[in-house]
Chain A
Amino acid sequence: MTSSLHRRLAVLGLVWSLVAAVSALRTARMSPIDPMARLESEFRALAADLPSRGEVGYLERYAQGDAEDAVRTHYAAQYALVPRVVVGRTGPEFVIVAAGTERPGGDPRLAGYVQVAQSPAGHRIFRRFAR
């Protein structure tokens, strides 16, 4: 840096960088644990009871289905169960019912389905058998 202006700018830039980097590190140390790792391993436990490919249904949460945690849980099921495609509706032969998504006292969306598996975390698989 030849001119004094450039030298001053460089010093300012370096001081700013130090403050920014230390501040970023402090912020990162306080990062909350992402629930995705837990959710992913919970849904992975259901894989053995599902077909290896194709569409699998997913019961959207009965209330506030578009809330962030409800959406995250649905996406986690999809992420864990690739290469199956986890669609947000009933209708396919197999339907995943995540813990807490079913309407208490009987969910009419599950009419015709019977439970065939349950994971330790409380997520369940329902299946509709052909008559």
Chain B
Amino acid sequence: MIRALAGVILPVLAVWAGLIATGLRERQEPLLLGLARAFCLAMGLTSISTFATLMVGGRLNAAFVIVDAAVWTCLAGVSIVAMLRRPSLPLKPRAPLTSADIAVRTVFLVVAVCACGVPVFEYLASPHGQWDAWAIWNQKARFMYRAGPGWTDSMAIPWSQPGHPPLVAGTVARLWAYAGGELTAVPAMVAGLFAIAMAGIVMGTLGLQHLRAWVAGAILIAPWTFSHLAAAQTADLPLGVFIVASLATLPRTPREWQQRGWVAVALVLAGVLGSMAAWTKNEGFVYLAASTALVCWSSYRHGRLADVRWWLVGLAPLLSVIVAFKVFVVPATTDYLVGTSESSTIIARVLDGARQVRLVETVATLAFRWGGTLTAGSLLLMLLLAAGLGALPEGRTARGYLFVSAVMLAGYSVVYLLTPFDVVWLISTTFDRLTLQVWPVLVLAACTSAEGVSTTEAA
């Protein structure tokens, strides 16, 4: 297990120090945010190298681990030395904690302990994760770890969702190679680290010196739906992390948009993180469509339309890998929208009144129940709160986040509307997972506008 942890720490250190050493991020950036973002990028990059190794006929054996560890150790060493040599601005002195600070942080700590307990209990009951974990993600990881280049045999298993990209499976398989065996604790650890990264992104973006960051952190991790999915070992929570990390990296204020070099770096980084969302799960493409529209609109409104190219520069490399994956690896499979190439089928499904009633009833029931026992209605409340605060004149950033969430939820609704499968079954088995993908964005949107100024200006 220690060796698997080393397989995480080495690339995270290399990416974190590398971003600072190359001036792409400042050392003054909150450590939690920097490490969480570095974790996302590191898991994305290592999954690509694992995928590439398998596609050129390699195996995830001891030789792979030695080369992989050597590369990341060298990169980490060089990056740390370069980072330490780089002159940095003096750190701002921290204000002493007030009694309100202590109270809020204590509540957060209690919530965090409870939230961490949920995956522990669930791991003891379900060490292989929830249904989709062993039917899809961990199963693909086993194919990668056991069969090497023969992992593509998994594409013949219809329930393993062959069309979904392999970020999670590749990450687990690589860390199994580090561990020297298929420890069930490894995918559980990966899921837990993504959950921590999600909290790190949201809280770090809001600024840990502000009370709202701790309030947002508590609200984010408290619901049963969050901690349950943090234990699930599936790809939905990682996808949510990449989505919120990408959005939080985008320039927000007019002042930020005027800093030419900073905007380019932010857009490239946000684009890379966005493409990693699409490398995690197909729903990431819905995020890419929504966020590309947001980037185009924001850059146009700030008179910087040409800067959209930096967003595209960030997206392009990994998108080309995804296209290659889809063209050369994924077979033609049925999906949730089979039959929708014919307009008569679409019209028939849309005009099916009984079906629409079942759809609305199921969504309404699940949306109300979301969050767990005693806290039903939390998703709807958060939606209302985020929309209310975002409607304030100074809630511009929140409105951008809400736009992306709305487009994603609308996209999923279209699938519900048109799917040939039993609509109640499909919604019941996907609703919590899909809404968790936008949950951190809603929390961030609500808390970003909670003080009437943007996070960056407040910091």
Measured CB to CB, the residues of A under 8 A from B are: 1-3, 6, 9-10, 13-14, 16-29, 31-34, 36-37, 40, 53, 72, 75-76, 78-79, 82-83, 85
Contact = CB atoms under 8 A, between A and B. Distances in A.
Interface string B145-176: 01100110110110100000000000000000
Interface residues of B, number: 53
- 5 closest Cβ pairs, A-B complex: A83-B147, A21-B114, A34-B126, A17-B218, A17-B222
A9 B385 contact: yes
Contacts of B156: 85
Given A21-B221, A82-B143, A16 B114 contact: no
Contacts of B154: 82-83, 85
Contacts of A32: 125
B378 A24 contact: no
A85 B157 contact: yes
B121 A53 contact: no
Contacts of B375: 16, 19-20, 23
B122 A13 contact: no
B117 A25 contact: yes
Given A17-B215, A85-B157, 20 more contacts: A3-B452, A6-B451, A10-B450, A17-B111, A20-B223, A20-B375, A24-B222, A24-B227, A25-B117, A25-B121, A27-B373, A28-B117, A28-B227, A33-B125, A36-B134, A72-B131, A79-B142, A83-B147, A83-B150, A85-B156
A5 to B, nearest CB: 10
Contact of A37 (B128, B150, B157, B385): B128
A21 B199 CA distance: 15
Contacts of B383: none
B208 interface: no
B374 A23 contact: yes
Contact of A40 (B128, B212, B372, B385): B128
Nearest to B127: A37
B334 to A, nearest CB: 16
B211 A1 contact: yes
B115 interface: yes
B228 interface: yes
B114 A24 contact: yes
Given A23-B224, A24-B224, A75 B135 contact: yes
Contact of A21 (B104, B222, B450): B222
Contact of B111 (A18, A33, A36, A83): A18
B147 A82 contact: yes
B128 A1 contact: no
B386 to A, nearest CB: 12
A16 B219 contact: yes
B289 interface: no
A29 B151 contact: no
Nearest to A6: B450
A26 B449 CA distance: 33
A79 B134 contact: yes
B444 to A, nearest CB: 13
A76 B134 CA distance: 8
A28 B227 CA distance: 9
27 contacts: A2-B452, A10-B104, A16-B219, A18-B107, A18-B218, A20-B372, A21-B227, A23-B373, A23-B375, A24-B118, A24-B222, A25-B114, A25-B117, A25-B118, A25-B121, A27-B224, A27-B372, A28-B227, A31-B121, A32-B125, A33-B125, A53-B147, A75-B134, A75-B135, A79-B134, A79-B142, A82-B139
Contact of B153 (A13, A21, A83): A83
Contacts of A1: 211-212, 450-451
Given A16-B219, A20-B224, A79 B139 contact: yes
A29 to B, nearest CB: 5
Contact of A34 (B128, B151, B228): B128
Nearest to A35: B126
A24 B107 contact: no
Interface string B93-111: 0000000000010010011
Contacts of A34: 125-128
B125 A13 contact: no
Given A34-B125, A36-B128, A24 B372 contact: yes
B371 interface: yes
Contacts of A31: 121-122, 125-126
Contacts of A13: 215, 218-219
Contacts of A36: 126, 128, 134
Contacts of A76: 134
Contacts of A6: 212, 450-451
B153 A53 contact: yes
Contacts of B107: 14, 17-18
B360 to A, nearest CB: 26
A55 B160 CA distance: 16
A20 B378 CA distance: 9
Nearest to B125: A31
Nearest to A33: B125
Contacts of A21: 110-111, 114-115, 218, 221-222, 227
A95 to B, nearest CB: 17
